[in-house]
Amino acid sequence: MCAARALTVVSTNWLKGQLGSRPLKRAPRDLRVLDVSFSFDSQVDTYKEAYMSGHIPSSVHFDILKCVTSTPEIPCNLPDSNCFPDYM
């Protein structure tokens, strides 16, 4: 399935159902859960400050700021479409 056609936003109840029926709350192979917690403060390590303090079981930390080109007007733009697959 093409990523552009995939449903990318699901309800928390749906996700709980997908994770709750599996041992150790592991996601099915065709499901990837990304934790995209971030801070506008570039000095904050979001992996340590947000992800490690609490995240959805089996989720992977995605540092969105590594895939954006910031400007003074837009400090957190959308991720570059080429960076995302390389990052993952």
pLDDT in tens, 18-35: 887 665 556 667 788 888
Q: Domain span at residue 70?
A: 29-87
Question: Where is 61: in which H helix or E strand?
Answer: strand 60-61
Count of alpha carbons within 13 Å of 69, Cβ hemisphere only? 4
Q: Classify residue 13: in a domain, yes or no.
A: no
The pLDDT of residue 87: 67
Arithmetic mean of pLDDT, 5-17: 76
The pLDDT of residue 1: 42
Chain mean pLDDT for the chain = 76
Q: Classify residue 33: in a domain, yes or no.
A: yes
Q: How many domains does the chain have?
A: 1
The pLDDT of residue 4: 52
Residue listed under structure tokens 């570039």: 42
CA quadruple 14, 63, 30, 26: dihedral, nearest 10: -70
Residue listed under structure tokens 């969105």: 64
The pLDDT of residue 80: 79
Count of alpha carbons within 13 Å of 20, Cβ hemisphere only? 6
pLDDT reading at 74 higher than 50: yes
